[in-house]
Amino acid sequence: MLVKRIIPCLDIQNGQTVKGINFVNIKEIGDPIEMGMKYVADGADELVFLDITATYEGRKTFVDLVKRIAANINIPFTVGGGISELSDVEKLLNAGANKVSINSSVVHKPKLIDDLVLNFGSKFIVVAIDASGDENNHWTVMVNGGRVASDKELFSWAKEVEDRGTGEILFTSMNHDGTKNGFANEQLAKLAETLKIPIIASGGAGTKEHFLDVFTKGKADAGLAASVFHYNEIPIPVLKNYLKENGIIVR
């Protein structure tokens, strides 16, 4: 078993960290740099910073904030939101980001993945997939911060994304996001069986047991969460000790 990663996610809006439930009911909760530095001290393996309204508002993501993050944080971090062309990625990587996360733009233009991989390499490219499942267990890929349904289906899109060379997939179940009822382990396990690249699980963390389940039942490579870390409901050192005690290899 490879080492599993614990990744706090900071959703950014107007320069502040925010949190919502099922992608709505957004409220501000803190300064992203201060919060990021605390997560480094707590033993987080990586961080993800997402500019959650950049695509919806039709603007570019936050290069200046990325420079400040890079100056203060010494663990790998991924940034996403509003990335639609090669120059966006170049600016973010030059500003200090370790990886970029791309969602809506590659759904609309899948060839962009090929171009990004060719120019920057697979290890720098994470494709984020937000998906919503219906009563028939059909999972539709959503874009524009979860506001708009695409014509793509979760599992076929994930396979295409891998075939085009992306280094990692960040899968968020919109059905589970912010509910604290557990991750979408059935869908995650199916993704893990289908794909060879790492899968970051997002949406639904509420207890330490949910992380254990996402690594055992969901077969995820990393567990990503926001509110349980932001509000210190699950301290990262406590979570890592719990996982170690239950046979999960963590840093």
Q: What's the CA gap between 61 and 229, in Å, rounded?
A: 24
* pLDDT for the residue numbered 20: 67
Which residue blocks in the chain are alpha helix, DSSP H?
A: 32-42, 54-57, 63-72, 86-94, 104-108, 111-120, 154-163, 185-194, 208-216, 227-230, 236-245
* pLDDT for the residue numbered 250: 96
0.85 exceeded by pTM = yes
Contact 13/32 with Cβ under 8 angstroms? no
| 91-113 pLDDT per residue, tens | 999 999 999 999 999 999 999 99
Which CATH number is associated with domain 5-245?
3.20.20.70
| Banded model confidence at residue 28, pLDDT cuts 50, 70, 90 | confident
Q: What's the CA gap between 251 and 44, in Å, rounded?
A: 9
Q: Rg (Cα) of the chain, in Å, rounded?
A: 16
Q: Give the active site residue among 11, 45, 177, 221.
A: 11
* pLDDT for the residue numbered 126: 98
C-alpha distances in Å from residue 20, one per residue of 84, 162, 202: 24, 29, 14
Decide if 134 is catalytic.
no
Q: What is the dihedral of CA 84, 85, 86, 90, to 10 degrees?
A: -50
Q: What's the CA gap between 92 and 246, in Å, rounded?
A: 38
| 187-244 pLDDT per residue, tens | 999 999 999 999 999 999 999 999 999 999 999 999 999 989 999 999 999 999 999 9
Decide if 11 is catalytic.
yes
C-alpha distances in Å from residue 157, one per residue of 78, 97, 209: 21, 26, 29
Contact 129/180 with Cβ under 8 angstroms? no
Q: Give the active site residue among 130, 177, 213, 221.
A: 130
139 sits in which H/E element: strand 139-143
Return the percentage of the chain with pLDDT > 70, whole number.
Answer: 94
More confident: 22 or 108: 108
Q: What's the CA gap between 131 and 153, in Å, rounded?
A: 8
Contact 29/37 with Cβ under 8 angstroms? no
- Region of poorest pLDDT, from 24-33, 117-126, 153-162, 242-251: 24-33
The sign one gets for the Cα dihedral 54, 231, 97, 95 is positive
Q: What's the CA gap between 220 and 4, in Å, rounded?
A: 8
* pLDDT for the residue numbered 15: 83
Q: What's the CA gap between 226 and 126, in Å, rounded?
A: 18
- Report the chain's mean pLDDT, rounded to a whole number: 93
Question: What is the token pair recorded at 207?
Answer: 């207890």
